[in-house]
C-alpha cells in the first residue's frame, strides 16, 4: 500500500460497518462501529500487527475476540457489574470525525450514555475513542467525560491483542522491578528480571507502570509500547488449556498472540461532574 491515496471511509467488515483509515504513506487501521473495536493495524510498508481470531463472533451483544476491545467502566469482574469488562465493547458507537491531516489518518468514535446503559450502570458519561495512524505508529486514546450531576469511579483498559509468529519465542522487556498481581497463581510478586517470556497461561496486572517504554520482541520484529493516563499494564495469554475452552478462538492460536494492555485498574479513576479523563496507548514497530 506504499504511496496509495489517503482516505477515510465507511466499509463492510465481516458484514458489519467499520471505519477504514489510510494515511498518505499507506498506513492503515480499521475500526468497527460495534464497540469502537480496532480490528486491524497495518503500518506503512508492513504487515498486520494485531491478532484477530478467525472464529471471532460479531454482532449485537458479542465481544469480538482480538484487535483492541475497549474496556469500560469495569475491568474483568472487579466491580459491581455482572458483565466482564463492562458493556461498551458490545454497543454501537458513532463516527464523530474522520479526517486525514498532517500526514495522519484520524478517526474519532463516540458513545454517550442512554437509558439502556443507565439500567446497567447508573451514571451519565460520554466516551470518545481516537485512532491516529501514520508511518509505523499507531495512537489510541480513550477519553471519558462525566456528563452527569454525581461523581463516579471506573476502571478501564485498551485490551490490545498483538500478533506474533510464536508466543513461546516472545520477549516482553521493560517491566523490571514492577509489582504485579498474578491471577494464575493468586499471588502478588515483583518482576525480578527485565525480560518476561510466555511458557503457558499468563494473566498479570503490573501496577503503576508509569511512563516506561515496553518492547515486545521476537526474531526479526519488535513493537515499542508507551502509555499516558493509564497507570497499569495487563499481560495476558490464555495458554493451551484455557484457549481450547474458548469457543471463539482456535485451540492453537494462543501461540499467535499476546495481550499487552494499557489499563487503569488497581486505582480506579474518580471523575467529578463535568470532568474529563483521557488515557492513551502508543505503538511503534
165: phi > 0 → left, psi -120 to 50 → alpha, else beta; which?
alpha
Which whole-number Å values give the CA distances from 62 to 65, 90, 111, 284, in the listed order?
9, 6, 17, 29
73 neighbors 155 (Cβ within 8 angstroms): yes
Strand 202-206, strand 179-182: pairing: antiparallel
d(CA 175, CA 161): 18
User: Is 159 among the residues known to form the active site?
Assistant: yes
Question: Which is catalytic among the residues 261, 267, 272, 276?
Answer: 261
Q: What are phi and psi of 218, to 5 degrees?
A: -140, 170
Catalytic residue, from 16, 37, 85, 159: name it.
159
Neighbours of 110 (CB within 10 A): 16
Identify any residues that bridge with 195 across adjacent strands, giving them in sequence order.
173
Which DSSP category does 244 fall into? H
Q: How far is CA 240 from the centre of its chain?
A: 22
Active site residue 47: no
Neighbours of 83 (CB within 10 A): 14
- Among residues 14, 91, 11, the alpha carbon closest in space to that of 58 is found at 14
Residues serving a catalytic function are: 159, 261
Amino acid at each position: 500500500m506504499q504511496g496509495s491515496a489517503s482516505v477515510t471511509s465507511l466499509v463492510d467488515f465481516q458484514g458489519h460497518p467499520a471505519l477504514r483509515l489510510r494515511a498518505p504513506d499507506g498506513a492503515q487501521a480499521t475500526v468497527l462501529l460495534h464497540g469502537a473495536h480496532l480490528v486491524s493495524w497495518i503500518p506503512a510498508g508492513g504487515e498486520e500487527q494485531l491478532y484477530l481470531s478467525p472464529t471471532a463472533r460479531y454482532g449485537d451483544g458479542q465481544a469480538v475476540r482480538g484487535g483492541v476491545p475497549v474496556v469500560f467502566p469495569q475491568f474483568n469482574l472487579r466491580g459491581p457489574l455482572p458483565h466482564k469488562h463492562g458493556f461498551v465493547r458490545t454497543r454501537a458507537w458513532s463516527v464523530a470525525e474522520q479526517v486525514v491531516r498532517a500526514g495522519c489518518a484520524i478517526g474519532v468514535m463516540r458513545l454517550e450514555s442512554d437509558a439502556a446503559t443507565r439500567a446497567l450502570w447508573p451514571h451519565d458519561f460520554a466516551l470518545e475513542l481516537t485512532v491516529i495512524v501514520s508511518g509505523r505508529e499507531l495512537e489510541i486514546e480513550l477519553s471519558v467525560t462525566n456528563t452527569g450531576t454525581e461523581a463516579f469511579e471506573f476502571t478501564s483498559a485498551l485490551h490490545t491483542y498483538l500478533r506474533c509468529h510464536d508466543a513461546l519465542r516472545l520477549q516482553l522487556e521493560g517491566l523490571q522491578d514492577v509489582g504485579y498481581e498474578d491471577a494464575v497463581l493468586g499471588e502478588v510478586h515483583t518482576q525480578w528480571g527485565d525480560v518476561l517470556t510466555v511458557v503457558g497461561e499468563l494473566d498479570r496486572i503490573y501496577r503503576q507502570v508509569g511512563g516506561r517504554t515496553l518492547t515486545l520482541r521476537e526474531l526479526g520484529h519488535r513493537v515499542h509500547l508507551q502509555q499516558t493516563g493509564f497507570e497499569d499494564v495487563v499481560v495476558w495469554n490464555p495458554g493451551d488449556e484455557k484457549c481450547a475452552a474458548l469457543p471463539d478462538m482456535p485451540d492453537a492460536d494462543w501461540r499467535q498472540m499476546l495481550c499487552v494492555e494499557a489499563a487503569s485498574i488497581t486505582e480506579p479513576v474518580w471523575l467529578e461532574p463535568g470532568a474529563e479523563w483521557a488515557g492513551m496507548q502508543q505503538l511503534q514497530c
